[in-house]
């Protein structure tokens, strides 16, 4: 399985992550943006995210929740600026536990030799916000999400081919 790679350069305000999916990009786009499929990958293995709101269109709002084993809920929310199937989503992102700290996410899908390169660019309001996010261990969470997304993509592909 493809690795997820991160670019986190000192002094910058962004985090870039890339992952190559062995599938056409319309399948990756569907897995990524279909509200019914989002819980499958936007969470942890064995603990699907709860989709409170996912109005996937420009100006639409999204709000997803993680619930831990003790029943605590952690909310995340934002709005979609652009949803251009099957190539690009631009959205805002805020963890409700740190209100007022917002980032801008740009997810781009490119077809390369029959595979799909996913690039997620997150731009933070300050270097401190970016450094805090990198220090929080978001890489492990993002890596797990993209692994789950890859499994979902493989499942969709296998259904489409059967």
Which chain residues interact with a second copy by CB under 8 A? 11-14, 55, 58-61, 78-82, 88, 90, 92, 94, 100, 102-104, 106, 121, 123-127
Q: How far is the CB of 90 from a second copy (least distance, A)?
A: 5
Residue 29 or 41 having the CB closest to a second copy: 29
SS (HEC) of the chain: CCCCEEECCCCCCEEEEEEEECCCHHHHHHHHHCCCCHHHHCCECCECCEEEEECCCCCCEEEEEEECCCCCEEEEEEEEEEEECCCEEEEEEEECCCCCCEEEEEEEEEEECCEEEEEEEEEECCHHHHHHHHHCCHHHHHHHHHHHHHHHHHHHHHHHHC
Torsions phi, psi of 12, nearest 5? -95, 170
Residue among 90 and 142 whose Cβ is closer to a second copy = 90
Least distance (Å) from a second copy to the CB of residue 130?
A: 9
Identify which of residues 9 and 68 has a Cβ nearer to a second copy in the complex.
9
Shortest reach from residue 87's CB to a second copy, in Å: 10
Shortest separation between residue 26's beta carbon and a second copy, angstroms: 19
* Residue nearer to a second copy on the CB measure, 18 or 92: 92
Distance (Å, whole) CA 121 – CA 96: 20
Could you tell me the two tokens for 24?
A: 């056409």
Pick 82 or 110: Cβ nearer a second copy: 82
User: Measured from the CB of residue 131, what is the shortest distance to a second copy in angstroms?
Assistant: 14
């Amino acid at each position: 399985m493809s690795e997820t790679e991160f670019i986190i350069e000192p002094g910058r305000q962004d985090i870039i992550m890339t992952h190559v999916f062995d599938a056409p990009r319309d399948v990756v786009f569907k897995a990524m943006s279909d509200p019914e499929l989002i819980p499958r990958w936007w969470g942890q293995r064995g603990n699907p995210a709860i989709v409170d709101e996912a109005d996937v269109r420009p100006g639409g709002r999204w709000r997803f929740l993680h619930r831990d084993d003790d029943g605590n809920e952690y909310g995340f929310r934002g709005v979609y600026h652009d949803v251009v199937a099957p190539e690009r989503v631009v959205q805002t992102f805020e963890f409700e536990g740190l209100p007022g700290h917002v980032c801008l996410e740009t997810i781009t899908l490119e077809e390369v030799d029959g595979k799909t390169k996913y690039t997620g660019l997150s731009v933070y309001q300050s270097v401190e916000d970016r450094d805090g996010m990198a220090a929080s261990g978001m890489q492990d969470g993002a890596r797990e999400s993209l692994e789950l997304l890859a499994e979902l993509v493989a499942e969709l592909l296998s259904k489409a081919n059967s």
